[in-house]
Amino acid sequence: MKKVAIVQSNYLPWKGYFDMIGAVDEFILYDDVQYTRRDWRNRNKLKTPQGLQWLTVPVKVKGRYLQTIKETEIDGDAWRDAHWRSLAHNYGKAQYYCDIATLIEPILLHGKQTLLSDLNTDLLKAICGYLGITTSIRQASEFDLQEGKSERLLGVCLATGATTYVSGPAAQDYLDQSLFADAGVAVEWFDYGGYPVYPQLWGEFEHSVSILDLLFNCGHESPLYMQHLNRPTIAAPKQDLE
């Protein structure tokens, strides 16, 4: 049995994205499809004392956004300092800020990536390593795919030897499940529900924020607040003996 998921890369995505990676045997970054404007490809949200705030990586666009995600270039490096200052300002007092800042600083602040897909992938792999996720991560461009939305996805599954395709629930609107059934590949819809709340700064709890929010606040205990990762063993507090 082999489970595969195929998802476009996002900038510092939310915990559910990493939960899906942890739930499959192979995760395919679907970055040879069209870049979409005002989407998760180049931005995500943080919590601040003033509410939710977008962190957006500026990109160069061609005409009417006809480039693929993997072709999309980052527009300069000034944003790096701005994002770093925002993280420090809003999470500097979080319990695990220093640990996570050390993890991502070489990529986010000092990185030399010129392509959005490379930046997203580098951050993704670093965070997966911290969370203990060992899932193989590959690019869809490695495969020779046919035309058709469902056909392309099925082609990746067949090329990787998948027996189950794990998809986000939004794909139910377009995925031709009969194609997968005919090819002997089961389709499983990923459930993003049921996440517990965790210690979070700045007011009312928000689930739909970058994974960094969870990591800064919970550090190595972050998998406790996810569904499909190996849970860490947290030692019970010592009791004083009389």
Per-residue pLDDT of the chain (242 residues; tens, 9 = 90+): 999 999 999 999 999 999 999 999 999 999 999 999 889 999 999 999 999 999 999 999 877 667 999 999 999 999 999 999 999 999 999 999 999 999 999 999 999 999 999 999 999 999 999 999 999 999 999 998 878 999 999 999 999 999 999 999 999 989 999 999 999 999 999 999 889 999 999 999 999 999 999 999 999 999 999 988 866 654 444 444 33
pLDDT digits (tens, 9 = 90+) for 180-190: 999 999 999 99
Does 161 fall in a domain? Answer: yes
Question: What is 136-159 written as a DSSP string?
Answer: EEEEGGGS---SSHHHHHHHHHHH
d(CA 115, CA 27): 20
Task: Copy the structure tokens of residue 159.
Answer: 């090329």
Does 108 fall in a domain? Answer: yes
Instruction: Report the number of distinct structural domains present in the chain.
Output: 1
d(CA 200, CA 220): 15
Does 64 fall in a domain? Answer: yes
Prediction pTM value = 0.92
Does 242 fall in a domain? Answer: no
Residue 205 belongs to domain spanning: 3-225
Query: What letter represents residue 67's amino acid?
Result: Q
Does 183 fall in a domain? Answer: yes
Does 48 fall in a domain? Answer: yes
Where would I find the H helices in the chain?
15-23, 78-91, 97-108, 116-131, 149-160, 177-182, 211-218
The pLDDT value recorded for residue 234 is 47
CA atoms within 13 A on the CB side of 34: 9
Q: What are phi and psi of 40, to 5 degrees?
A: -85, -5
Question: Quick one: 139 exposed, middle or buried, by C-beta within 10 A (0-12, 13-18, 19+)?
Answer: middle
Q: Can you say whether the dihedral through the CA atoms of 145, 146, 149, 155 is positive or negative?
A: negative
Does 233 fall in a domain? Answer: no
Partner residues linked to 46 by β-bridges: 53
Does 35 fall in a domain? Answer: yes
